[in-house]
Structure 1
């Protein structure tokens, strides 16, 4: 007589344990939602500015801080503590800072008064002032992004 020593694997208890272990394994290994990256800043598009259109980029109302030097417009927002509201260079925010930087002056009279007039060509600067200005330009070129160019306001003629 031959004995049958086979055991039933598919018992209700074994099936229950298998289902529980499978569920736990699935819950631990299932794909999770992809991580959500924070939204980056809006892209900056190279623009042409006039003294009047540049003026709104003075850091007020959480706007970016731009300033112009020798026709290049720099985004100095990362230096908001210096160039933004309350900073030592705040007069230059949203303005052409060429003459003020060359003369090492933060005074209002260094800024262009007529926003619709010609740009200051700084032709009367002394050699040491030009050297000083070139040093500033070199620092700005290394540290800040150029976001545009500054041109004088041009009246369009309508016929």
Structure 2
């Protein structure tokens, strides 16, 4: 005779399948899935376009002011720097924005960000900076050194109509 105190075998099986056990089993299956799921392949960020060292005249440099998706370039003592990484400072709305796409030598030397520090006639001769004092020249060299350490030199600034400008135009 069977023991009357033990439940029949079907009742034991039914007691294992309870709502809480089903929730726990589902959670276990989900955790195992996420643990064993293959990871998404890593993708590298898109490389910036290559920068080619080139010769600029002031009118050619002017569009590189950060507007219309253009990079931000500025020149110091004839060297053109790509300061796009510092767009918050040199790009539109930044404190040094008036130097973008221009020769910033005089303004940096004088510690002035005023428009009158910039060459007005882009087709005219480059600023020779001959009237600057020793302190101003030293300040400008300090800025140039800082730019050299931080930013890429992408070209050189020459006057419109110079032999270098004509040679550069012939190569393009």
Please classify the TM superposition score into its range, dividing by the shorter chain length.
0.7 to 0.9
Deviation, 1:34, is 7.0
Superposition TM-score, scaled by structure 1 size: 0.75
Deviation, 1:39, is 2.0
Partner of 2:72: 65
Cα RMSD after superposing both structures: 1.9
Matches of 2:49 and 2:149 in 1, distance apart?
22
Count of matched residue positions in the alignment of Structure 1 and Structure 2:
127
Q: 1:55 aligns with which of 62, 69, 72?
A: 62
Partner of 1:153: 160
Deviation, 1:146, is 0.1
Matches of 2:117 and 2:40 in 1, distance apart?
56
C-alpha distance after superposition, 1:65-121 (max 9, x if no partner): 000000000000000000000000000000000000000001111001111111001
Deviation, 1:51, is 0.3
- Structure 1 unaligned segments of length 5 or more: list them: 1-27
Matches of 1:137 and 1:78 in 2, distance apart?
16
- Structure 2 unaligned segments of length 5 or more: list them: 1-35, 167-172
Partner of 1:121: 128
Give the 3 Å change call, closer, same or farther, for CA 120–43 of structure 1 in structure 2. Answer: same
Q: Which runs of 4+ in 1 moved over 6 A?
A: none
Q: What SS does structure 2 have at the residue aligned with 1:74?
A: strand
Superposition TM-score, scaled by structure 2 size: 0.69
Partner of 1:16: none
Normalized per residue, which structure has more helix? 2
